[in-house]
Chain A
Amino acid sequence: MAAEKATALVLRTTDYSESSRIATLWTRELGKVRVLAKGGRRLRSTFESALDLLTVASIVLLRKSSGSLDLLVEARVVERFPRLTRDLKALYAAYYVAELLGDWTQENDPHPKLFDEALDALRTFGSPEVPTAARLLRFETVLLRELGYAPQTERCAVCRQTIPQASEQAFSAAAGGFVCPKCRNGRRGLVTVSRSAWQALRLLEGAEAEDAWKRIEPAEQKELRGLFNHYISYLLGRRPRTMLYLGE
């Protein structure tokens, strides 16, 4: 039972006993892990305050055999995101990030790019330079790509033909992207977005300059929020609990 080191983001904690706690951690090196933190509820525990929700911690854990919880032996705070305690929109966006990472990723399946993206999003939420809504859309775009659900934007998700320019574009969650006018016929559950929102989605995917998505207008942010709410709920098979707090 060798000790392993990792950098972790705390996604969830639940009390286990009078003094212990079970934590769900999203680590850069090991993916999602569930650990038992003995003494983690005590004020003067060895984990200090590293097990607070959405804290980044440097951890040491002992991996257990399949089926049992890993044992957390050390956790030290590396980073916190103080803006989350000053801006409600930022806090709700952060809760949503935690829910998506916690519920949509598998244990022991690392995604270092997604980990870095999540931390960068948490750092940026609530900053005056970048709208929280746009930063969240960017995170969701990276999440969908990393998990293999990136929406088709260039070509029709059904017939693979190039999507013609039009004032409105139709999105099919079932097909996994935008569909051309021919393939729309008879297809149910389509969501229509404006051409500018469709172009904004391409910016989020990094089709142009890497940070062009920061310039997305509020109207497009609102349209894409609706589109992502629809698509992510479809993929998860339910509406995420924290989506309610994101607003339009």
Chain B
Amino acid sequence: MGREAVGAVARLMTALGKLPGIGPKTAERLTHYLIAARPEEVLELAEAVRAIKVEIHPCRQCFNPTEGDLCHICSDPRRDATVICVVEQPKDLMALERATSYRGLYHVLGGRLAPLESLGPEQLTVDQLLRRVQEGGVKEVIMATNPNLEGDGTALYVSSLLAPLGVKVTRLARGLPSGSVLEFANSQMLSDALEGRQTF
């Protein structure tokens, strides 16, 4: 990476090069773009980067990153507060929001139960979820953890703690994507779809 670069230019190239998907050449290109860009544009970017670390913190209720006390979803009175969708990471919440079909609230666990990587329940926001349910008003908790062994294990663990609270616990369906064809579905998709078949 730009051996000839020194000082602030070299620091910026190094910093950009640490971002996912950005290699040394892209880091160099972006650095030269920023050097040539208007000062307002560059300072706006710098301010946005600063704010994400200084002003963003987890929502008091659902742990989705927010600037206020409650995130925009938790503070929206039009959302259905009787349903909570449990996700591993904020990016999973954003993916579900893009689907635009869910109108309930969320709870971000902050990871998954992965004992092999020393990630235990104490590192997740499970206690806070249980408190939300215990406070009343919640009728259904949807487990939307990743569809892999650790995600399923996390859902199983959380469900086992929710079961005594008398709340309905469901999980996302899995199987064939809409608009696809059976011929190109892999064996796992087909087996999930068969297992989760519904009355027509």
A86 interface hit (Cβ, 8 Å): yes
B157: chain A residues at CB < 8 Å are 88
Given A18-B20, A88-B160, A91-B153: A48 in contact with B187 (beta carbons within 8 A): yes
Among A84, A87, A99, A245, point to the contact of B149 (Cβ < 8 A).
Answer: A84
Bound-state Cα–Cα, A12 to B149, Å: 11
A229 interface hit (Cβ, 8 Å): no
Bound-state Cα–Cα, A52 to B112, Å: 14
Taking CB as reference atom, which chain A residue is nearest B184? Answer: A44
Which chain A residues (85-117) contact chain B, with CB distance < 8 Å? 85-88, 91-92, 95, 98-99, 102
A92: chain B residues at CB < 8 Å are 115
For B, the interface residue count at a CB cutoff of 8 angstroms equals: 17
A-B contact count (CB 8 A): 51
A95-B115 in contact (CB<8A):
yes
A86: chain B residues at CB < 8 Å are 156
Bound-state Cα–Cα, A44 to B157, Å: 29
A53-B148 in contact (CB<8A):
yes
Among B115, B149, B156, B188, point to the contact of A54 (Cβ < 8 A).
Answer: B149
Bound-state Cα–Cα, A63 to B20, Å: 28
A77 interface hit (Cβ, 8 Å): yes
B188-A98 in contact (CB<8A):
no
Among B21, B118, B156, point to the contact of A91 (Cβ < 8 A).
Answer: B156
Contact with A along B137-153 (1 / 0, CB 8 A): 00000000000111011
Bound-state Cα–Cα, A185 to B43, Å: 76
A54: chain B residues at CB < 8 Å are 149
A244: chain B residues at CB < 8 Å are 115, 120
* Interface residues of A, Cβ cutoff 8 Å to B: 12, 18, 48-49, 52-55, 77, 80, 84-88, 91-92, 95, 98-99, 102, 241-242, 244-245
Give me the 4 closest cross-chain CB pairs, A-B, nearest first: A85-B152, A48-B186, A242-B115, A53-B149
